[in-house]
Amino acid sequence: MIRKALFIAIAAALSAAPASAQTRPFYNVDKEVRIEATVREVVLEPRYKGTAPFLVLRVAEAGSDRSFDVEIAPSWFFDQDVHGGEKVRIVGSMAETAGGTPTIIARELQLRGETFQLRDKHGFPNWQGGPRNKRGIRRLDRL
C-alpha cells in the first residue's frame, strides 16, 4: 500500500513538471517576426524566478495600433540606454504568455543605427553561462 501511494505521488510530481515548464516562454524560430516600432516604456521586470530582472520594452508597432512587450535580455547583459520615443527594429519570436499582452522574445534589436545580436539564429541567448561566461552582444553593423 505504501509503495502504491509513493508511486502515485511520484507520478503526479512528474506529470506536473511539464505543465510548469510550459509557462516559461521559449524562442520558436517558426514564429519569428520582424517589426518596426516606437518605444513607449522601458521597464525592468522579474520575468523568470531566480534570475536577474529582464529589460523589457513596451512598444507600439509603426503603422498599426498593435502593442507588444519585447523581452530584450537580463539587465546585466544589455548595456545600452533606451528611451521612450526611440524607433527600433526587432527580429524575434512571438511567445505565449499568461499576461495577455503579445510578447516578442528579441533575437536582434536595431537601435540608433546599430544592430545588436542578442541570441543566435536558433534563439539561444548570448548571455548563456551568466555574467562571468557571457558571449557578449554581437554588434553586426553601424548604419
pLDDT digits (tens, 9 = 90+) for 6-35: 445 454 444 444 443 345 678 999 999 999
**How sure is the predictor about 79, in pLDDT bands with cuts at 50, 70 and 90?**
confident
**What are 107-124's pLDDT values in tens digits?**
999 999 999 999 999 999
What SS3 class is residue 129?
coil
Mean pLDDT of 61-88: 93
Q: What is the pLDDT of residue 15?
A: 46
Q: What is the pLDDT of residue 24?
A: 63
Q: Alpha carbon of 127 to those of 2, 68, 75, 94, 136: distances in Å? A: 46, 23, 11, 20, 6
Residue reference for cell 545588436: 116
- What residues have CB less than 8 Å from 40, skipping those under 6 apart? 58, 59, 60, 67, 84
Q: Which domains does the chain have, with CATH numbers?
A: 29-142 (2.40.50.140)
